[in-house]
Chains A and B, each alone.
Chain A
Amino acid sequence: MLAMVKGKWVYLVIAALLAFLILIPFDWFLGHYTTIMIFIGISTMVTVGLCLLMGYTGQVSLGQAAFYGLGAYFSAVLSKTYSVNPWLAMLIAAIATGAFAYVIGYPILRLRGNYLAMATLGLGIIMWILFGQLSQFTGGPDGMAGIPYLSIGGFIFDTSFKRYFLVWFFCLAVLFISQNIVRSRSGRALRAIHGSEAAAESVGINVARFKVKIFVLSAVYASLAGSLLVHHLRFVSPQPFDFLASVKFVVMAVIGGLASIWGAIFGAGTTRILSDELLLGFGEWDVVVYGAILIIVMIFMPEGLFVKLKELIGRWRLRYAERGSET
C-alpha cells in the first residue's frame, strides 16, 4: 500500500525539488540565499559522511572537522603557496586525507562507543591545534588569504552564482553515491555491523575492513567539502575546524536522522539557517540552541527530526489514500 502511494508521488516531488534547487540562485527567485545555500551544500557533504559512519555503521566521530580542515588546508597551501592547479590540489587533498584516515582508521576503529568518541574528539582537537601552530605552512591563527578560484578551461568560478552550481553538483553527486552504497550489498553489511559486530563477522563480513572503508569515505567527503570551502571563501583559518565545528556536524546529522542520507540536506539546512540567519545577532545563543536540539532530539526521537517528519507525512498520506479508495 505504502509503496503504491509512494510510486505516484516520488518522481513528481524529486522533479519539483530539483527545479527548485536550480532556480534558487537566480536573483528574481531566492538569489539572496545563494551564499547560505553554498554553505548548506558544503556542510551537507560532510554530514552525509557522518551519517554513513554513525547512522549506518554505528561508529561515532566527534572529529569530522579534522578531515574537513585537512582538505581545506591541503587545497589552500598547494594551490596558493605551490601554485598547483586547484583541481589537482583538490584531488591530492582528497587522496592525502583519505590515506590519513586509512592509516589511523585501523587502530582507532578497534575502539568502540565512548572510547572511539573520545579518541576522535582528541584527534579533531590535535588537528585544530596543528592548523594554528604550523604557521610556516598554514598562516597560523590569522589564516591565509588569496587562494585562487577554481576554473574549467577559461570558465572561472568567480561569482557565488557560478559556485552555487559547482558546490551542489558535488553535493548531489556525494548524496547519490551514498544512497547507492546504502542500498547495495555493502550497505546491508554496514547495517549488519551496526546491529551486531559479532553477528556480522560470523556471516562472513570483514567488519574491520568495512568500518575503515566507510571512515575513509567520510573523510574524503569532508576533504572535498573543505576544498570547496576554501575556493569559495578564498581564505582559510583554523576557526571553522574547531571542536564546535565537529559538534555542529553531529547536530546536522542528528536533525536529519543519523540513518538518513537525504536528511543530511535538511539537517545542514536547518542548522545553517538557524545560526546564519535566525540567531545571527544573538551571540552565543546558537550554541545553546544546538545543545538543546541534541538533547531533545536524542531523547524523544533518536531516529532524527527529519525521519520523524517523514514518518508523520507518510502516515497522513496513507490515511488520506485509504479514505480516497473507500469512496
Chain B
Amino acid sequence: MSADQFLQYLVSGLTQGSIYALIGLGFTIIYAVTRIINFAQGEFVMIGGMLSFTLACSTGIPLVPALLLSVFIAAAVGAIMYLLAIRTARKASVISLIIITIGVAIFIRGIAAVLWGVDFVRPPYFTGDESISFLGAYIHPQALWIIGTTLVVTILLHLFLTRTMVGKALKACAINPRASGLVGINTRAMALIAFAIAAALGGIGGVVMAPLTLTSYNVGVMLGLKGFVAASIGGFKSPVAAVIGGIMLGIIESLAVGLDWGPFTSAYKDVIALVVLLLILLIRSGRLAAEEAG
C-alpha cells in the first residue's frame, strides 16, 4: 500500500469514525446518568438521516432549517422514549430494561419501514460534490462536514458539561444519583435531558452522514453496535474517550478493509467492528462485571 492510499483510508476511517463517535457519545451520556444502555441509540441516527431526506427533498423547506428540524425531532423522539418507556418502568431489572430498549428500537425501525419504505435514500449534499485534493488523498466536502461537525459538537458538549449549571447537574447525577437528589437536583429531569441530548447527538450524526453514506430504515442496528464499541473503548466513562474510541474504530475498520489481505473484502467490514467489540468486552470483562455488580 502506498502512502497516498494509506492517507486515503485514514481519511475515510476518520469520517466513519466521527459518526461512531457521535453515537458513542450518546451511549456514554445516557449510561452515565441513568446506568441504562440504550439499545435504540442507533435508531436516532436513522431518524435524523431519513427525516432530513424527507424534509429537504419533498417539503420545500430550505436545507438548513430542514436539518435543524430533523435533529430537533430526533431529540423529541428520545425524550418521548424516556417518558413513555423508561420512566414508567423505573424499578425494572437490567434484563427488562434491555428488552424494553430493544423493543423501542424495533418499534421505531418498523414505523420507519412503514413510513419510508425499505429503499436507501440520499439527502442532498451540504456543499456540493467536488472532492478536495489534500496531500494526494481526496476528501469529499461532506466528509469535512462530518468531521467538522463531530469536532464542534464534542467541544460544545464538553463546555456544556463543565461550564453550565445543567451540565454540572448531569455530571453530579453520573457520579452519585442519590447524593445529587439530596442536594436538590431533579434526577428524573436529568435523565430526560440525557435521553434528549443522546438522541440529538444521534440525529446530528444521521443528518451529516446520510448524504455521503446513504441511509435506510435498517441502518440503526449496525450503527448502534458500532457506537457501543466506541463507548466501550472509552469505558462509558468520559465523553472524550468515547470520541477517541469511535475514531479509532473507524480507522481500524477502514485500514483492515483497505489492506486487502486474505479473504477480507469490504463485506467483512462489519465483522471486523464486531470482533473488535467482542475482544474489548472480553479483555475488560473482569472490570465490567465488577461495575455491573456494584
Cβ contacts under 8 Å, B110 to chain A: 284-291
Interface residues on B, range: 35 or more
Q: Any chain B CB within 8 A of the CB of A314? A: no
Of the listed stretches A40-48, A216-224, A233-241, A295-303, chain B binds A295-303
Q: Any chain B CB within 8 A of the CB of A108? A: yes
Q: Which of B39, B94, B96, B110 has the most CB of A within 10 A?
A: B110
Task: Tell me the bound Cα distance from A34 to B58 in angstroms.
Answer: 47
Contact across chains for B267 and A133 when beta carbons are under 8 A apart: yes
Of the residues A111, A243, A292, contact of B107 by C-beta under 8 Å = A292
Of the listed stretches A21-29, A112-120, A168-176, chain B binds A112-120
- Say whether, besides A125-B274, A283-B114, A295 and B225 are in contact (CB < 8 Å): no
Of the listed stretches A54-62, A152-160, A305-313, chain B binds A54-62
Q: Any chain B CB within 8 A of the CB of A30? A: no
Q: In the complex, what residue of chain A is closest to B222 when comparing beta carbons?
A: A125
Of the listed stretches B9-17, B161-169, B284-292, chain A binds B284-292
Contact across chains for B85 and A125 when beta carbons are under 8 A apart: no
A258-274 interface code vs B (CB 8 A; 1 in, 0 out): 10000000000000000
Contact across chains for A299 and B292 when beta carbons are under 8 A apart: no
Question: Which residues of B from 72 to 90 have beta carbons under 8 Å from A?
Answer: 85, 88-89
Q: In the complex, what residue of chain A is closest to B267 when comparing beta carbons?
A: A133
Cβ contacts under 8 Å, B102 to chain A: 62, 247, 250, 294
Give the distance to chain B from A30, nearest Cβ to Cβ, in Å.
30
Q: In the complex, what residue of chain B is closest to A119 when comparing beta carbons?
A: B281
Task: Tell me the bound Cα distance from A288 to B108 in angstroms.
Answer: 7
Give the distance to chain A from B42, nearest Cβ to Cβ, in Å.
11
Contact across chains for B37 and A114 when beta carbons are under 8 A apart: yes
Q: Any chain A CB within 8 A of the CB of B153? A: no
- Say whether, besides A58-B95, A125-B225, A291-B108, A107 and B103 are in contact (CB < 8 Å): no
Contact across chains for B285 and A111 when beta carbons are under 8 A apart: yes
Task: Tell me the bound Cα distance from A284 to B275 in angstroms.
Answer: 30
Task: Tell me the bound Cα distance from A247 to B109 in angstroms.
Answer: 13
Task: Tell me the bound Cα distance from A263 to B116 in angstroms.
Answer: 36
Give the distance to chain B from A241, nearest Cβ to Cβ, in Å.
14
Interface of A is mostly: helix
Cβ contacts under 8 Å, B37 to chain A: 114, 117-118
Cβ contacts under 8 Å, A17 to chain B: none
Q: Any chain A CB within 8 A of the CB of B100? A: yes
Q: In the complex, what residue of chain B is closest to A111 when comparing beta carbons?
A: B285
- Say whether, besides A126-B274, A285-B114, A291 and B293 are in contact (CB < 8 Å): no
Give the distance to chain A from B105, nearest Cβ to Cβ, in Å.
7
Q: Any chain A CB within 8 A of the CB of B61? A: no
Contact across chains for A298 and B292 when beta carbons are under 8 A apart: no
Give the distance to chain A from B281, nearest Cβ to Cβ, in Å.
5
Task: Tell me the bound Cα distance from A283 to B118 in angstroms.
Answer: 10
Cβ contacts under 8 Å, A113 to chain B: 94-95, 98, 292
Q: Any chain B CB within 8 A of the CB of A123? A: yes
Contact across chains for A295 and B95 when beta carbons are under 8 A apart: no
In the complex, 10 of the A-B residue pairs with CB atoms within 8 angstroms, ordered by the A residue number, are: A108-B282, A110-B289, A115-B281, A115-B292, A283-B114, A288-B106, A288-B110, A290-B110, A291-B108, A302-B92
Which A-B residue pairs are the 7 nearest by beta carbons?
A291-B107, A294-B103, A287-B110, A288-B110, A284-B113, A114-B37, A295-B103
Given A112-B289, A126-B271, A291-B109, 16 more pairs with CB closer than 8 A: A112-B94, A112-B292, A112-B293, A113-B94, A115-B281, A117-B37, A117-B39, A123-B274, A125-B221, A129-B271, A133-B267, A283-B114, A295-B107, A298-B92, A298-B99, A299-B89
